[in-house]
């Protein structure tokens, strides 16, 4: 598990660590790690050309010290400063002693690697002044880009990109993950992430005095551990039964997709309740079908909403599910019906997971804005539900403020029916007994990984996600 830390907490931990170490030693470690990664990206040494983009803070100093190490290895290092009058003097002197040079942008030659040391966690607001042409230069160059700590132009806490921003191939992150590397546009700009251990984690854990960091990124091992494998004594009821109230005469496909993924999350059986029963059974003969939620019998969790429509029967299904005493996932039309029926949520005793995309979120909770983590947390606190805010990097927030940032996913998942698959899978993980926040985060992870797997074979449609999900689950649990 990786903790993800807001800038204020990273600063506080950094101050404590720094206090116990000789002056400059953290920066020396940072520079060493950057130089090692730069050489790995260059693939060769002598004669290679590196261009450093240097800002006026410590991010720029990191770049200059790393550049000095590269220059000592025979690499031709040029540095361009956003403001030559404000670069770190000692770091520039170190670069010069090693043979590197500070030059104006107009004289920068072709480079084999660009190092972005313009802004790190000291960034605030959109890029100003002289930084803009430097970022443009990096975008226009064919050279790969290594960003130090954070791609410049990305907000460290939210991942928002409000103007020009560096698009990195690799980001060497100092000390601890920041939210901006994992969420919003920042995830796209960061490229491959490497974290340099600067000894901050013990301090960060101590600072919060929490068993878990408030924001986490799940890794593959945790996902595998969350997927409870059935034991030899399990029957279809001990493994959990999930109910699906989705689809309608107009949208039977949503029911098929939602049921299709609900079958895969480790449950013993799926019950379907709705007007697409005929289509569901034709596609999935093992599913137990009824017309209404009331007739469906006992389940351990429900999914309600995909393709449900807005008829009086749709409202009945929603009421039936939310009136039950088992966990429920509400998606799509279910979310839209909730807008006028919020008391259905507040009256609930069991857990609820809401899975909105941005427009559905806005109808229920107001605009998402640029801080997706804050938006999901606000909605979770307000509704008392786990909120899974879909996006290129999905955010799952629990009512007490704990969050998961999903590391998997691809733009290929933005396709019709993809959300039906995610909702069904989330419901079956809930029915299998996984805690609501973890179930939602696990479903987002598997859905994203399945999307990436399916995309390897060409353009993805939602039906392709079902075999890809099976393959993903098999790869994780065997």
Find which of ligand NPW, K ion, none residue 58 binds, CB within 5 to 8 Å per kind: ligand NPW
Based on the shown chain and the rule CB under 5 A, indicate whether residue 14 belongs to the binding site for K ion: no
Pairing of strands 113-117, 101-102: unpaired
CA distance 34 to 39: 9
Measured from the CB of residue 240, what is the shortest distance to ligand NPW in angstroms?
Answer: 44
Measured from the CB of residue 53, what is the shortest distance to K ion in angstroms?
Answer: 8
Measured from the CB of residue 96, what is the shortest distance to K ion in angstroms?
Answer: 22
Do 392 and 368 form a contact (C-beta atoms < 8 A)?
no
Q: Is 243 helix (H, G, I), strand (E, B) or coil?
A: strand
Binding mask 134-173 for K ion (x = CB under 5 A): -------------xx---x---------------------
Measured from the CB of residue 57, what is the shortest distance to ligand NPW in angstroms?
Answer: 2
3-state secondary structure 402-462: CEEECCCCCHHHCCCCHHHHHHHHHHHHHHCCCCHHHHHHHHHHHHHHHHHHHHCCCCCCH
Of 173 and 246, nearer to K ion (C-beta) is 173
Pairing of strands 352-354, 386-389: parallel
Backbone angles phi, psi at 386, to 5 degrees: -75, 130
Residue 347 assigned as binding residue: no
Residue 357 assigned as binding residue: yes
Residue 273 assigned as binding residue: no
Find which of ligand NPW, K ion, none residue 77 binds, CB within 5 to 8 Å per kind: none
Based on the shown chain and the rule CB under 5 A, indicate whether residue 116 belongs to the binding site for K ion: yes
Measured from the CB of residue 119, what is the shortest distance to ligand NPW in angstroms?
Answer: 5
Residue 19 assigned as binding residue: no
Residue 122 assigned as binding residue: yes
Residue of this chain nearest to ligand NPW (CB atom) = 120
Measured from the CB of residue 128, what is the shortest distance to ligand NPW in angstroms?
Answer: 4
Q: At what angle do helices 372-383 and 358-365 cross, to 10 degrees?
A: 50
Measured from the CB of residue 188, what is the shortest distance to K ion in angstroms?
Answer: 16
Measured from the CB of residue 134, what is the shortest distance to K ion in angstroms?
Answer: 11
* Nearest alpha-carbon partner for 283 in 254, 308, 310: 254
Of 170 and 308, nearer to K ion (C-beta) is 170
List contacts with ligand NPW (CB under 6 A).
10, 14, 26-27, 30, 55-60, 62, 119-128, 131, 148-149, 174-175, 198, 200
Find which of ligand NPW, K ion, none residue 417 binds, CB within 5 to 8 Å per kind: none
Residue 149 assigned as binding residue: yes
Based on the shown chain and the rule CB under 5 A, indicate whether residue 82 belongs to the binding site for K ion: no
* Nearest alpha-carbon partner for 351 in 400, 303, 397, 384: 384
* Nearest alpha-carbon partner for 271 in 308, 302, 239, 242: 242
Of 119 and 393, nearer to ligand NPW (C-beta) is 119
Residue 142 assigned as binding residue: no
Residue 419 assigned as binding residue: yes
* Total chain residues near K ion (CB under 5 A): 4
Q: Which two tokens stand for residue 210?
A: 């929490």
Of 179 and 265, nearer to K ion (C-beta) is 179
CA distance 59 to 88: 10
Of 37 and 152, nearer to K ion (C-beta) is 152
Do 201 and 2 form a contact (C-beta atoms < 8 A)?
no
Length of the chain measured in residues: 478
Of 50 and 446, nearer to K ion (C-beta) is 50
Helix or strand holding residue 16 (H, E): helix 7-19
Of 122 and 199, nearer to K ion (C-beta) is 122
Give the strands of the sheet with 395-397, arranged side by side: 2-4, 215-217, 403-405, 395-397, 386-389, 352-354, 328-330, 301-304, 241-245, 269-273, 288-290
* Nearest alpha-carbon partner for 399 in 418, 384, 420: 384
Of 152 and 355, nearer to ligand NPW (C-beta) is 152
Residue 152 assigned as binding residue: yes
Measured from the CB of residue 138, what is the shortest distance to K ion in angstroms?
Answer: 10
Residues 229-258 that bind K ion (CB under 5 A): none
Q: Which two tokens stand for residue 196?
A: 């340099």
Of 121 and 395, nearer to K ion (C-beta) is 121
Of 84 and 122, nearer to K ion (C-beta) is 122
- Return the C-alpha torsion angle 85, 89, 95, 101, nearest 10: 20
Find which of K ion, ligand NPW, none residue 124 binds, CB within 5 to 8 Å per kind: ligand NPW
Measured from the CB of residue 19, what is the shortest distance to ligand NPW in angstroms?
Answer: 12
Find which of K ion, ligand NPW, none residue 152 binds, CB within 5 to 8 Å per kind: K ion
Q: Which residues are annotated as a binding site?
A: 58-62, 116, 120-126, 149, 152, 254, 307, 357, 390-394, 419-420
Q: Which residues are annotated as a binding site for (6S)-NADPHX?
A: 58-62, 120-126, 149, 254, 307, 357, 420
Q: Which residues are annotated as a binding site for K(+)?
A: 59, 116, 152
Q: Which residues are annotated as a binding site for AMP?
A: 390-394, 419
**Interface ranges with K ion (CB under 5 A):** 116, 147-148, 152
């Amino acid at each position: 598990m990786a903790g993800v830390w807001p800038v204020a907490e990273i600063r506080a931990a950094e101050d404590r660590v720094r206090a116990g170490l000789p002056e400059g030693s953290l920066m020396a470690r940072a520079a060493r790690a950057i130089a090692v990664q730069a050489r790995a990206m260059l693939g060769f040494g002598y004669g290679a050309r590196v261009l450093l983009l240097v800002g006026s803070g410590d991010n720029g100093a990191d770049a200059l010290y790393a550049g000095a190490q590269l220059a000592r290895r025979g690499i031709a290092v040029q540095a361009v400063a956003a403001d030559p009058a404000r670069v770190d003097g000692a770091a520039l002197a170190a670069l010069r002693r090693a043979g590197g040079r500070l030059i104006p942008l107009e004289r920068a030659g072709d480079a084999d690697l660009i190092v972005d040391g313009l802004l790190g966690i000291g960034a605030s607001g959109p890029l100003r002044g002289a930084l803009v042409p430097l970022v443009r230069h990096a975008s226009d160059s064919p050279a790969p880009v290594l960003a130090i700590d954070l791609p410049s132009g990305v907000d460290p806490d939210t991942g928002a990109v409000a103007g020009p921003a560096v698009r990195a191939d690799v980001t060497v992150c100092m000390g601890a993950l920041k939210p901006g590397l994992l969420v919003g546009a920042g995830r796209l700009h960061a490229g491959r992430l490497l974290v340099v251990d600067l000894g901050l984690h013990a301090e960060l854990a101590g600072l919060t005095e929490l068993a878990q960091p408030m924001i986490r990124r799940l890794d593959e091992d945790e996902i595998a551990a969350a997927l409870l494998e059935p034991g030899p004594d399990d029957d279809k009821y001990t493994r959990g039964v999930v109910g699906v109230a989705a689809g309608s005469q107009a949208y039977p496909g949503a029911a098929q997709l939602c049921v299709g993924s609900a079958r895969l999350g480790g449950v013993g059986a799926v019950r379907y309740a709705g007007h697409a029963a005929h289509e569901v059974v034709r596609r999935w003969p093992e599913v137990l079908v009824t017309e209404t939620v009331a007739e469906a019998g006992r389940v351990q969790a429900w999914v309600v909403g995909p393709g449900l429509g807005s008829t009086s029967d749709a409202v009945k299904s929603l009421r039936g599910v939310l009136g039950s005493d088992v966990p429920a996932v509400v998606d799509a039309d279910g979310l839209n019906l909730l807008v006028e029926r919020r008391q259905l949520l507040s009256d609930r005793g069991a857990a609820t997971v809401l899975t909105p995309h941005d427009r559905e979120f806005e109808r229920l909770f107001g605009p998402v804005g640029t801080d997706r983590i804050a938006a999901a947390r606000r909605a979770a606190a307000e509704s008392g539900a786990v909120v899974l805010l879909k996006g290129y990097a999905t955010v799952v927030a629990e009512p007490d403020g704990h969050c998961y940032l999903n590391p998997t996913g691809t733009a290929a998942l933005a396709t019709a029916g993809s959300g039906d698959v995610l909702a069904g899978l989330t419901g079956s993980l809930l029915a299998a007994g996984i805690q609501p926040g973890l179930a939602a985060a696990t479903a987002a992870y598997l859905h994203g990984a399945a999307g990436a797997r399916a995309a390897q074979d060409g353009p993805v449609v939602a039906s392709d996600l079902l075999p890809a999900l099976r393959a993903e689950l098999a790869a994780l649990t065997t």
